[in-house]
Amino acid sequence: MNYLYPEPYRPFLRQCLVGLILFAGCSLNAFGQQPDTTQRLVPVGTSDSLATVLSTAVADSVLMQRDSVFYTKLKTRMYKHRLTRKLYDAVFRDVYNSRVQTGEVNKLEVNPFRRFQGRIIGTIYIRRLGVFGQTVYDTLRQPGNWFERVGNRLHTNTRENVIRRSYLLFKEGDVVNPTLLRDNERLLRNTSIFHDARILVLPREGSRQFVDVYVITQDVWSLLPNGGVGALNRFSVGFEQRNFRGLGHLLYTQVAYNGADPRQKLEYRGRYTVPFIGKTFLTAQADLLYLRDQKQATLQLYRPFLTPDTKYAGSISLSHARINNRVITRDNVVQLVPLKYNYSDVWIGRSFRLFYRENEQETDEKGRARLIIALRNTNYEYLSRPTVTADTNQLYQDSRTTLFSVGFSRRKYIRDVLIYGFGRTEDVPIGETISGVVGFDNAELGQRLYSGLNYSQGKYINRFGYLYGLASIGGYFRTKGVEQGVLSLETNYFSPLLPTRWGNMRHFFNSRYTTGIGRFENEYISLSSTGSGINTDGIGINNDALRGTRRWLINYENILFSRLNVIGFRVAFITFANLGLVTFPDRRLLQGPLYQGYGIGFRLRNENLTFNSFQIRLAYYPNIPNNRAPFRTAFEGVTGLRFRDFDLSAPQIIPYR
């Protein structure tokens, strides 16, 4: 625990507290003796079990967790009565929750590995915690109820040899690199199989050269059933297993049946992913879709720039597809265009360190600058399609595109809480990127030159919050001018964590402007795109009238992270306002109607589960065309959002969406 009052007053306050507890009728005998968590570290190699050594190591290395068992029981007893509950809250605070309450990022940013820089890693110990009860900041906690105990027994933790072989960037005998260890913590936290992770470095007793490393991981509940029933002859059933047999593999499968569909009654979706193969950090993935309007098989092998120190990255992707492409003409006529094609995509990139001298050490505070070059080749080969001419169906021409990019990237990460998560540690990227892309598209209708430029930056501003900006422009060039060009501007902002009497609050503001330049016929963007339009809430506004070649979106959201906890689910209350403009070239953007959406609701999330956040919303859309029901309600799952990072990967054509 951590105290709010100075050291000289703590014994006096503790005596007063105990006296008040006795006066209230509570007995301290039920608590047992206070555990001695200040004992010395047991040297490696003794008869003590690894669990005992690691529990002691965690307690000694994290001063905030002293006396955790004693005070956990104390808190449980005192929270039974209003008077003693207020007294407890006035004197003590839980360290893990204090990060949520204060939102003080700087206190979390001290790199704990720096004082061990240059020492030799002796032994690496792996401690795998249960899904429920324990945390990486308090390994002495126990599951609080029957549900959590059963859940821990049913879940298969990630295997120790898998963590050693596939998820660690260091090995025994390496020199301690503080930045590498910090990156490895972030890598573990950002994988889908871990709820949280922590790395501890502890000096080996009797040695000034060697240290031992303890890797503590806590899985998420990996099995997620899915499906639904619309009628007796219309249903779907499936599941997602994000950590198949503790191997870290992802298995997703779903079967849907619609007896009333004359074209295809049975549909299937499947995916199998093998992440971080050995020490190569390659990921292999296979996808299979057998849907009414899409049949597709895809194989992919890829390796991203996982950390700024990753030198090589790349990907190989092969796909065969048969789809019925839904097209809406300018006259609002819906057409299904049958297509059949093969697709291949190959790229490779190399990262070079910049602004670094051999006699200096890189630090997180200075950031890590990289020059990244990459080469990419994509190929579309259509086997079945409508007739392609210079004026019609240009989207379906065979093409082979070769792109080259060069870019500058500087990034680091700051830990924070209560942004997109509900209490877990979140790694917020700060830094900047600038990249240029050039290449040739050897298309069926003639060769085109492509050129594009991207710039992004994000950082915390003192007492103001976090601000991110992205500007992109690019297009194809022929002798007659630009075609399929796009200009995109984006701004994202979230405020500091604001304490209130009901919980902690943040404000979120996003603005996105997109305009097309010389786009082909039937190419457009929409305000009704889920996740990127006026219905970012996903309430179901899907209107073909909300289309155009230019679009401007403004989204505001307020989230109150309450203290409510419903059987392990944290509750957050939300209010939002979404505004949007969209138009075709024959009318100015600001002359069009301002489409609007307003609403309230709440979300529930258990960070120990792989389930999406559950969301209930009431929204009001006053001026959507042909909208007979301006009020909409929904209960649904919401996929967790991720931060825009400042890593550079494959050269890409700026998307028009």
State the residue range of the domain holding 413.
293-638
- Same structural domain, 471 and 557: yes
Compute, in degrees rounded to 10, the torsion defined by CA atoms 163, 169, 174, 180: -130
Among residues 163, 188, 219, the one where a domain terminates is 219
Sign of the four-CA dihedral 3, 9, 12, 13: negative
What pLDDT, on the 0 to 100 scale, is given for residue 87? 59
What pLDDT, on the 0 to 100 scale, is given for residue 462? 84
626: CATH: 2.40.160
What is the tens place of the pLDDT at every residue in 322-331?
998 877 666 6
What pLDDT, on the 0 to 100 scale, is given for residue 591? 81
Three-class DSSP labels, 23-77: HCCCCHHHHCCCCCCCCCCCCCCCCCCHHHHHHHHHHHHCHHHCCHHHHHHHHHH
Closest CA to 419 of 96, 94, 105: 105
- Same structural domain, 436 and 524: yes
Asked whether 337 and 325 are in contact (CB, 8 A), the reply is yes
Closest CA to 561 of 508, 510, 615, 602: 602
What pLDDT, on the 0 to 100 scale, is given for residue 350? 95
Using DSSP's 3-state secondary structure scheme, residue 184 falls into helix
Would you say residue 385 lies in a domain?
A: yes
Would you say residue 226 lies in a domain?
A: no
- Same structural domain, 62 and 151: yes
What pLDDT, on the 0 to 100 scale, is given for residue 556? 94
- Same structural domain, 362 and 213: no
CA separation, residue 631 to residues 508, 560, 582, 627 (Å): 23, 23, 22, 10
Q: Which residues contact 327 (CB under 8 A, 6 or more apart)?
A: 334, 335, 336, 337, 522
What is the tens place of the pLDDT at every residue in 203-256?
988 888 999 999 999 888 888 888 878 788 889 999 989 888 889 999 999 999
Would you say residue 265 lies in a domain?
A: no
* Segments of the chain scoring below 70 in pLDDT: 1-75, 79, 82-110, 138, 144, 328-332, 355-367, 529-544, 567-568, 607-612, 636-640
Would you say residue 561 lies in a domain?
A: yes
The domain total for the chain is 2
What is the tens place of the pLDDT at every residue in 166-178?
899 899 999 999 8
- Same structural domain, 213 and 119: yes
- Same structural domain, 304 and 413: yes
- Same structural domain, 310 and 195: no
How far, in Å, CA of 555 to CA of 533, rounded? 9
How far, in Å, CA of 180 to CA of 169, rounded? 7
- Same structural domain, 183 and 322: no
Would you say residue 133 lies in a domain?
A: yes
Closest CA to 275 of 266, 265, 286: 286
What is the tens place of the pLDDT at every residue in 465-521?
999 999 999 999 987 788 889 999 999 999 998 888 888 899 999 999 999 998 887
How far, in Å, CA of 307 to CA of 315, rounded? 16
Would you say residue 271 lies in a domain?
A: no
Among residues 167, 194, 219, the one where a domain terminates is 219
Would you say residue 242 lies in a domain?
A: no
- Same structural domain, 562 and 418: yes
- Same structural domain, 429 and 334: yes
What pLDDT, on the 0 to 100 scale, is given for residue 72? 58
> Would you tell me the crossing angle of helices 68-78 and 82-91 to the nearest 10 degrees?
140
What pLDDT, on the 0 to 100 scale, is given for residue 83? 65
What pLDDT, on the 0 to 100 scale, is given for residue 107? 42
How far, in Å, CA of 637 to CA of 563, rounded? 21
- Same structural domain, 356 and 487: yes
